[in-house]
Structure 1
Amino acid sequence: MRMDLSIAGQQFSLLENFKDDTRLRASFNALTHQTFEFDFEQWYQDGYWGEGYQPWALAHDGRIVANISVNLMHFDVLGEPRRGIQLGTVMVAPEYRGQGLSRVLLERVLDRWQGQCELVYLFANDTVLDYYPKFGFARVLEHEYSASLTPADRPCSFNRVDMDDLLERQRFISAVDSAVPVARLAMRSNPDQTMFYCTSFFKDCVHYSPALQAYVVMEIVDGVMTLYEVFARRALDLQALIAELSTPQTTRVVLGFAPLDSSGFEVQPLVSDDSLFVLGQAGQFIEDARLMFPLLSHA
């Protein structure tokens, strides 16, 4: 879709559904790389940029200069299905800032989606904490789960998965699609989002256990294990799995999700560079139930 708009005395084009336009996608990726130091081109070429990721962009003289992306999200929340949209890839080219371009995009996205889903949310850094409440968003506190570790005294059955191997990728995607939830707030039906991370930032963090028929996405840095996600077709003992993954030097585990069974874990308010904002009061249950959006669901 394309619509011409006049903003601050200049003519812009509002663009949607342009991912298959080579020129516009290149312009979008250039602004993404300028803003965030990554882009979506390989994700697109690998076939993972599906209909669940929908940029809304403003172009000036054929160049994309502002964007807000809509991510269609499905979750199991305390056992109940919920549908929402996550706003992300919010960016404006430096020379176009201060002209209200983000406001125009955000208002149009909210006009389209408000009332059509149960949650509209986003993550924002400290520089814009006062901006989103102007549009009806409320800051919501998430909670993080962690525990001290005692490594298992048996060999680890997990081996790193080569995510450059296309067959291994297909096996992993199948496991993601059929996995039982391990979190009280669990992302569902969105392997494309998982693959965004697991073919780029976390491609060396995917491990598989034939014995458990389970995948994990995890890394250990300076003795602290971050367990981002577990994908298994049957329920597993999370504490036993963590103990098996740990090394003699691992002293602590931090979860990238709020576990179904929180016994044995410490829970505390999440300290992060990004804060969660949810439209209206729809996100209060997240704070009340001490939940967090899984880290691999962040867009």
Structure 2
Amino acid sequence: MESVAVTEIRQVDTGLQELFCDYVPQVFRRADFRRWRAWGEWNDDYRAFALIEDGRVVANTSVMRMRLLLEGREVLAHQLGAVGCLPSHRGRGLARVVMNVALDACGDAPVLLFANPKVRQFYPRFGFQPQMQTLFATPYDAVPDGPPAPTLNLDDAEVRAGLATLSSEGRPSTERFGARGYGTVASWPVANGFSRPLRQLGADAWVFAGVEGETLYLDDVFAREPFDLRAWIPRLIDRPIRSIRFGFTPERYWPEAVTAGEDMEADLFVRNLRLSPEAHRFPIMAHT
């Protein structure tokens, strides 16, 4: 393969960010970084390692710096995302080049990523190991009661700042395998229209939640102090429910929740990272 140079794209590289934003939807059909970037969420924690040919990004691996929580211990780590290559440039080993450069930038720190099951053979070549993620659920009968919990809009810069503060300074939804300070990660699926609504439970407790059928999906909780989540369930639903599913390990908020199978939507791979032997699910709003 010919020698190629990898370009690092950071927060200050606005022109190169435009090229990156052009690349993403060509590889990931439903994904876009423009709104997230316009919100000012691309900060120093996010770096893209891109191959640029003829004025366009043709391959990329991005690195998001993360403050992981492993059994309550905070660990500096990195999460990879936007890994791919333009269809027209595949077969040249370009994805391997950008992966190696990105991993070099991570050094010996732990690295994780969530991948499409179709490419699960790719990442073990770089020292990654697959790790099972568990689904958690609980039977729970409830009916709507009281005024609905307000919905918050991340188009509002103050709301984005509030989410960042709660994520960084508040009480993580899980300490078994979770994170701190991932407000800019959580805002990305919102900017792309992938997330459930963000609801306000009092002044300093926010949740991403929504009802589908007879199930309430609680995707993540951002709170400054412990609070009674159950008391808010009737205000999070617009119809009767029979069960709750959690997008994180609910050992804090619902310790009697049961395992409900394996998360098959995205494969977790880890490198230099030893996880809890107990069942766990990394918060889905912390996925890049």
TM-score by length of 2: 0.89
Which residue does 1:3 correspond to in 2? none
Shift of 1:251: 2.1
Verify: 1:26 aligned to 2:18, yes or no.
yes
* Whole-angstrom distance in 1 between the partners of 2:198 and 2:72: 26
Which residue does 1:89 correspond to in 2? 82
Determine helix, strand or coil for the equivalent of 2:142: coil
Which residue does 2:278 correspond to in 1? 289
Out of 190, 193, 198, the position equivalent to 2:185 is 193
Q: Give the partner amino acid of 1:292.
A: R
Q: Give the partner amino acid of 1:296.
A: M
Shift of 1:145: 1.0
Identity of aligned residues (%): 27
Shift of 1:42: 2.0
* Whole-angstrom distance in 2 between the partners of 1:129 and 1:252: 32
* Whole-angstrom distance in 2 between the partners of 1:68 and 1:43: 18
Shift of 1:270: 2.3
For residues 169-226 of structure 1, give each alpha carbon's deviation from its aligned partner in whole angstroms, at most 9, with x where no partner exists.
434433333321221323212322122234442576011133x642111111222221
Verify: 1:140 aligned to 2:131, yes or no.
yes
Determine helix, strand or coil for the equivalent of 2:264: coil
Verify: 1:222 aligned to 2:222, yes or no.
no
Equivalent residues of 2:31, 2:192 under 8 A apart: no
* Whole-angstrom distance in 1 between the partners of 2:54 and 2:161: 41
Shift of 1:97: 0.4
* Whole-angstrom distance in 1 between the partners of 2:25 and 2:11: 16
Q: Give the partner amino acid of 2:258.
A: E
Shift of 1:239: 3.5
- Equivalences for residues 78-227 of structure 1 within 5 A: 78-115=71-108, 117=109, 119-151=110-142, 154-156=145-147, 158-184=149-175, 185-201=177-193, 205-210=197-202, 213-227=204-218
* Whole-angstrom distance in 2 between the partners of 1:248 and 1:41: 35
Verify: 1:255 aligned to 2:246, yes or no.
yes
Verify: 1:71 aligned to 2:55, yes or no.
no
Superposed CA RMSD in Å reads 2.3
- Equivalences for residues 257-272 of structure 1 within 5 A: 257-261=248-252, 262-272=254-264
Equivalent residues of 2:197, 2:208 under 8 A apart: yes
Q: Give the partner amino acid of 2:78.
A: I
Structure 1 unaligned regions, length at least 5 = 1-7
Q: Summarize the Cα distance change of 1:92–1:256 in structure 2 as closer, same or farther, 3 Å threshold.
A: same
Which residue does 1:52 correspond to in 2? 45
* Whole-angstrom distance in 2 between the partners of 1:129 and 1:199: 27
Which residue does 1:298 correspond to in 2? 287
Equivalent residues of 1:202, 1:217 under 8 A apart: no
For residues 96-119 of structure 1, give each alpha carbon's deviation from its aligned partner in whole angstroms, at most 9, with x where no partner exists.
10111111121222233231x2x2
* Whole-angstrom distance in 1 between the partners of 2:148 and 2:168: 22
Alignment size in residue pairs = 285
* Whole-angstrom distance in 2 between the partners of 1:100 and 1:17: 21
* Whole-angstrom distance in 2 between the partners of 1:77 and 1:243: 32
Between structure 1 and structure 2, the one with the greater Rg is 1
Shift of 1:166: 3.2
Which residue does 1:5 correspond to in 2? none
Which residue does 1:233 correspond to in 2? 224
Which residue does 1:245 correspond to in 2? 236
Equivalent residues of 1:223, 1:249 under 8 A apart: yes
Structure 2 unaligned regions, length at least 5 = none
